[in-house]
């Protein structure tokens, strides 16, 4: 089997309601993950794009979080409605969805203005 063209990770982390940082999924079901898988199959991308659940991606304040490799494009605040745009624009057309991107200065830093 050839390597995937893209690998998509969807944060599936769940925390208690009183945790100091938010969760990307509150119910543990990760409807976003399921919806991205379905849309990817419907688009004929099976075998080309892999959609995986991930543990915490450490972007909790930007959640729900999705990251697409090999481009290393990080998306935040992703809803099921946004999934269609990610599949059609990024996974099919190769154009990242700029309105959903997490700012570079917010990645891998403790000083992001979104962190409490």
DSSP codes of every residue in 73-99 = EEE-S--HHHHHHIIIIIIIT----GG
- For β-strands 49-54 and 73-75, DSSP reports them as unpaired
The answer as to whether 62 is a domain residue is yes
The answer as to whether 92 is a domain residue is yes
Question: 82's torsion region: left (phi>0), alpha (psi -120 to 50) or beta?
Answer: alpha
The answer as to whether 64 is a domain residue is yes
> What is the reported pLDDT for 19?
84
The answer as to whether 11 is a domain residue is yes
The answer as to whether 30 is a domain residue is yes
Domain count for the chain? 1
The answer as to whether 32 is a domain residue is yes
Domain that holds residue 72: 6-106
The answer as to whether 111 is a domain residue is no
> pTM value?
0.89
CATH code for the domain of 55: 3.40.30.10
> What is the reported pLDDT for 116?
55
φ and ψ at residue 97, rounded to 5 degrees: -85, 95
Give residues with Cβ within 8 angstroms of 35, minimum separation 6.
80, 83
10-residue block means of pLDDT along the chain (116 residues)? 88 84 72 94 96 88 91 94 96 97 85 68
> What is the reported pLDDT for 115?
64
């Amino acid at each position: 089997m050839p390597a995937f063209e893209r690998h998509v990770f969807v944060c599936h982390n769940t925390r208690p309601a009183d945790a100091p940082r938010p969760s990307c999924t509150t119910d543990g079901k990760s409807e976003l993950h399921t919806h991205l898988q379905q849309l990817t199959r419907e688009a004929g991308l099976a075998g080309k794009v892999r959609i995986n659940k991930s543990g915490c991606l450490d972007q909790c304040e930007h959640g729900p979080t999705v990251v697409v490799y090999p481009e290393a494009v990080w998306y935040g605040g992703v809803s099921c409605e946004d999934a269609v745009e990610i599949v059609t624009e990024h996974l099919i057309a190769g154009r990242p969805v700029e309105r959903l991107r997490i700012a570079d200065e917010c990645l891998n830093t403790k000083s992001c203005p979104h962190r409490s």
